[in-house]
Amino acid sequence: MRKIIHCDCDCFYASVEMRDEPSLVGHPVAVGGRAQTRGVIAACNYEARAFGVHSAMSTARALQLCPRLILLPPDFERYRAASRQILDIYRDYTPLVEPLSLDEAYLDVTGVERCRGSATLMAQEIRGRILAEVGITASAGIAPNKFIAKVASDWNKPNGQFAVRPEEVDAFVAALPVKKIFGVGKVTAARLQGRGVHTCADLRAWSVAELTQAFGSFGASLYRLCRGVDERAVRPDRARKSLSVETTYVTDLPDLAACQAALPALIAEFRTRFGRAREARAVHKAVVKIKFSDFTQTTAECVAQAPDDGVWQALLGSAYARKARPVRLLGVGVRFVDAEQPAPAATQFALFEMPQ
């Protein structure tokens, strides 16, 4: 039986800002882009959340809800520095640390003898060290697997923790809303609720065949997760699956020609970022993302071992045709070959060669 801790820092970006400028404490604070440039909120503290502000909300909307909101530009160098300190703390306890982002990670502490082998005591000690050494708070979930640990870390936020013991797993998961299941987004949750499925207990009435018929390959995952079964290991070397860049435009791009004209600059930015990433794996697919003026979005992709500007332009045309209306955001990127997937015969180098 595994012992998994999921640690998640509370309002991470905003917490770092309040740590470095204590006068911000007690005021509604958010980190994000300016409303004038169609920015979005990256993080906010609980004082801002009391007004209905949340991450991924447009900054303009956030300021409508909370006119006194203190909006700060992101400073990722400081956030990365804090993240490195936190990862060092985690690795004092176990080498099996799988970061999910700058502010959250899984830890597998199975067999670790610290704190008398108690994962609950380890989580408590880790959170105390993050507060003392980094100056921000974190919450934690403790459970026999990753899925339940991640759900549990949100149970007593902020600055709290919650443990689900092996004998408690069945009842704990049965009562969960289906939207808590890993991989269930708004669309899938709405489909399930439309069929009378609101909790994991409701979902257990479906056979694996019925779920697979309704949701494809994801149906098998639904069958396992609604029963609290998650066999994913904590992977310290978890590989990046994709790399992309995107831009939200101050003024909507009115038509396909304007999108085509904007794409080369985006591709150039992507090449720069790819070069810094030093990714060793081969490219498997090229991807273009569009968010239209009505906030709907679509993604077009194709197999491409070494996509050039023409590949992304073709994908752009395909994606744009699905809605054919003004565009507020464009993104380009690639997906990499999975570790289990054989690498394409061609090399990646051509993707990043400059035109002659």
Residues with a catalytic annotation lie at 104
By the 8 A CB rule, do 245 and 277 touch? no
Phi, psi values for residue 217, rounded to 5°: -65, -25
Residue 268, CA atoms < 13 Å, CB-side half-sphere? 7
Residue among 332, 323, 322, 350 at smallest CA distance from 260:
332
What tokens appear for 236 in the block? 């310290």
DSSP string, 27-78: S-EEEE--GGGT-BEEEE-HHHHTTT--TTSBHHHHHHH-TT-EEE---HHH
Question: Is 8 annotated as ligand-binding?
Answer: yes
Query: CB of 139 within 8 A of CB of 159?
Result: yes
Q: How buried is residue 291: exposed, middle or buried, by Cβ count under 10 Å (0-12/13-18/19+)?
A: middle
Do residues 246 and 331 touch, judged by C-beta distance below 8 A?
yes
CA distance 60 to 47: 18
Distance between CA atoms of residues 181 and 29, nearest Å: 30
Nearest CA among 119, 121, 85, 120 for reference residue 102 = 85
- Structural tokens at position 158: 């902020």
User: Looking at the DSSP assignment, which residues form a beta bridge with residue 302?
Assistant: 286
| Amino acid found at 254 | P
Confirm whether residue 294 is marked as ligand binding.
Answer: no
29 DSSP β-pair partners? 70
Task: State the amino acid at position 13 in one-letter form.
Answer: Y
The three-class DSSP label of residue 335 is strand
Q: Name the 3-class secondary structure at 332.
A: strand
Q: How many residues does the chain have?
A: 356
> Strand, helix or coil at 247?
strand
Positions at the binding site for Mg(2+): 8, 103
- List the binding residues: 8, 103
